[in-house]
Amino acid sequence: WEKSTFSWSKKLENGLADIFKIKKFREHQLSAMNAVLSGEDTILVMPTGGGKSLCYQLPAVISKGVTVVISPLIALMEDQLYGLKKIGVKSGMMNAKTDKDITKSMMDALEGKNHDIKLIYITPEYMKKSKRFMAKVQKAFNLKLLTMFAIDEVHCCSQWGHDFRPDYQFLSCLKSMFPGVPILGLTATAPAKIISDVQKMLDIQGCLVLRAPFNRPNLFYEVRRKPADKDVCLSMIQNLLKSRFADKSGIIYTTTIKEAEQLTSDLRDKGLKVGCYHAILEPEVRSKIYSRWITGEYQAVVATIAFGLGIDKSDCRFIIHHCISKSMENFYQESGRSGRDGKKAVCIVLYRLADVFRLSPMVIGDKVGLQNLYKTLEYCLDPQTCRRSLIANHFEEKWNKNDCAEMCDHCRCPKKIKETDIGNYCRQIYQIIDKALKTDTNLTLIKLIDAWFSKGTASHRVAAVPVPKFSREAGENIVGFLLINGYLKEDFVFNAYSNLTYLIKGPKAGRAMDKSHKIMFVHDEGLGI
């Protein structure tokens, strides 16, 4: 598909340079365009920021008809429309709020009454709802004016995806309703299971799948224990910003708006120049903060994950995750916003088990939410494996032993590793759980650790369970390990006031109760277990 001898090749080349002002295609971009322009259904897997949009925007511009772009988020579409407007490409977005004139010009374009509008953006929800729009698309089809359907974030079709959206189900009718109109699915989520699920749903089984490499050789990955003490944690971030990342620009991600605000004000108190960014700020405020970051007035933005869509700063040198991400996909995307210029950037996760339990009630509504969250926990807990190889494995990318080139903490400074049978500790934790059950107490992580280490009120303490000789930190690591391996499980209690999670015995408890059952825990010798 990489050829440049198609009838449209010259047009692509000229459009790339003249309209998009881009010098050359990145890997797979040309193939994707050639494929769809030949009428082939295609799925393009490319990391965020890789340049997926160009793969439908450029073909749309050089074709006579209209390209319908289906995208899940209005904010994403607005970014794109803004970008297209800047380069003089006419496009529009269909939704309930679109003003009448723009709607009319889009409808006209679909009926061949004008050929100005090249791209029409719409959410799957609205497409499903608007019979009128679908009727016009039908008309465009009859007039052979449909260039293609570009489906952004196409993994949302799959139930296995990290953000399955039921409204995408509607798109399953496209292939039969508009035979011959190519579908281009775009995503940054690669697992084969998801891709084949998406193909089945869209009825494009066996279509061309193009995968761009995920590895980002210039990003250094690192995980640190997040100190339980807030002030200690704050000093740690302060030190990073003042020494290691002095004069460098970056992003600090937090989970909630409240945290983002608090951390911003704490860092400001320490004399650091940081801005705060989240979804409920007014658009003007957001863009002001963004531009202060772009110009370097702010060294860093403390942000919720709302900060990301459409970020275009090539010299972002560090990403600090103040809390782990909800999934490896999120982590990859968020950390991937650094080092776009190809120079070295650092991605640090500050990890604490307690944060997992803060996130789990937020992700439990999603069928695979917990599974995805535990993957990030695994990434943090692993004491020795190359971080980059963990990421590569997650995205089903080939990995060779020395590919990292010491660009992760584990490869740069390998820890002394030890293996310990923690079967007994597991059974002791079960005794604590059993006692809590008897007294009808919901055992949160803190309560469990307190009981185990005989701290606090420790009313759940079990006399027969000895206080461990190792640190609470080590104890938390054991609990984390037991959780991701099915020896412990989270139990959720949702009520009007809060969504809380408690620890109970996991599916492997039956086996683990047997005193001869070994649970081998590979860990950093420094934990002192």
Would you tell me which residues interact with Zn ion (CB under 5 A)?
386, 388, 404, 408, 411
Between 55 and 436, whose beta carbon lies closer to ligand ADP?
55
Between 50 and 182, whose beta carbon lies closer to ligand ADP?
50
Between 290 and 521, whose beta carbon lies closer to ligand ADP?
290
CB 124 within 8 A of CB 68: no
- Residue 201 touching ligand ADP (CB under 6 A): no
Residues ≥6 apart with Cβ < 8 Å to 287: none
Stretch that binds ligand ADP, among 24-32, 168-176, 445-453, 488-496 (CB under 6 A): 24-32
Between 44 and 433, whose beta carbon lies closer to ligand ADP?
44
Q: 477: which 2 tokens? A: 């690591």
**Phi/psi at 297 (nearest 5 deg)?**
-65, -40
Quote the longest CA-to-CA distance of the chain.
Answer: 83
Binding partner at 50 among Zn ion, ligand ADP, none, C-beta below 5 to 8 Å by kind: ligand ADP
C-alpha to C-alpha distance for 474 and 451, rounded to whole angstroms = 15
C-alpha to C-alpha distance for 354 and 18, rounded to whole angstroms = 52
Binding partner at 408 among Zn ion, ligand ADP, none, C-beta below 5 to 8 Å by kind: Zn ion
Binding partner at 174 among Zn ion, ligand ADP, none, C-beta below 5 to 8 Å by kind: none
- Residue 213 touching ligand ADP (CB under 6 A): no
Binding partner at 411 among ligand ADP, Zn ion, none, C-beta below 5 to 8 Å by kind: Zn ion
Distances (CA, A) of 191 to 206, 305, 395, 436: 15, 23, 6, 40
C-alpha to C-alpha distance for 407 and 346, rounded to whole angstroms = 9
Tokens 């006579």 appear where?
64
CB 150 within 8 A of CB 42: no
Tokens 């409808």 appear where?
107
CB of 52 to ligand ADP, least distance (A): 3
CB of 51 to ligand ADP, least distance (A): 3
Tokens 């899940």 appear where?
72
C-alpha to C-alpha distance for 164 and 367, rounded to whole angstroms = 9
Between 16 and 404, whose beta carbon lies closer to Zn ion?
404
Between 29 and 249, whose beta carbon lies closer to ligand ADP?
29
CB of 11 to ligand ADP, least distance (A): 16
CB 359 within 8 A of CB 325: no
Q: Give the bridge partners for 150, in sequence order.
A: 69, 184
Between 145 and 386, whose beta carbon lies closer to Zn ion?
386
- Residue 26 touching ligand ADP (CB under 6 A): yes
User: Considering only residues 12, 25, 163, 331, which one is a binding residue for ligand ADP as defined by CB under 6 A?
Assistant: 25
Binding partner at 404 among ligand ADP, Zn ion, none, C-beta below 5 to 8 Å by kind: Zn ion
CB of 44 to ligand ADP, least distance (A): 9
Comparing CA positions, the residue from 516, 499, 485 lying closest to residue 360 is 499
Site string for ligand ADP, 276-315 (x = CB under 6 A): ------------------------------------x---
Q: DSSP code of 525?
A: G
- Residue 28 touching ligand ADP (CB under 6 A): no
What sign does the CA torsion over 305, 307, 311, 314 have? Answer: negative
- Residue 335 touching ligand ADP (CB under 6 A): no
Binding partner at 52 among Zn ion, ligand ADP, none, C-beta below 5 to 8 Å by kind: ligand ADP
Q: 437: which 2 tokens? A: 């059950």
Between 49 and 112, whose beta carbon lies closer to ligand ADP?
49
CB of 379 to Zn ion, least distance (A): 12
Between 239 and 314, whose beta carbon lies closer to ligand ADP?
314
Tokens 């959780």 appear where?
483
User: Considering only residues 6, 11, 13, 22, which one is a binding residue for ligand ADP as defined by CB under 6 A?
Assistant: 22
Site for ligand ADP in 462-491 (CB under 6 A): none
CB of 175 to Zn ion, least distance (A): 42
Between 25 and 487, whose beta carbon lies closer to ligand ADP?
25
- Residue 67 touching ligand ADP (CB under 6 A): no
CB 372 within 8 A of CB 327: yes
Between 51 and 486, whose beta carbon lies closer to ligand ADP?
51
Binding partner at 48 among ligand ADP, Zn ion, none, C-beta below 5 to 8 Å by kind: ligand ADP
Hey, what amino acid is at 105?
A: S
Site for ligand ADP in 37-66 (CB under 6 A): 46, 48-54
Distances (CA, A) of 431 to 444, 458, 501, 509: 15, 14, 19, 12
Binding partner at 25 among Zn ion, ligand ADP, none, C-beta below 5 to 8 Å by kind: ligand ADP
Tokens 């399955």 appear where?
164
- Residue 441 touching ligand ADP (CB under 6 A): no
**Residue 99, Cβ neighbours under 10 Å: how many?**
8
Q: How large is the angle between the packed helices 369-381 and 387-394, nearest 10 degrees? A: 160
Size of the site for ligand ADP (CB under 6 A): 13
Q: Which H, E and C letters describe 412-425, residue by residue?
A: HCCCCEEEEECHHH
**Residue 265, Cβ neighbours under 10 Å: how many?**
12
Residues that bind ligand ADP (CB under 6 A): 22, 25-26, 29, 46, 48-54, 312
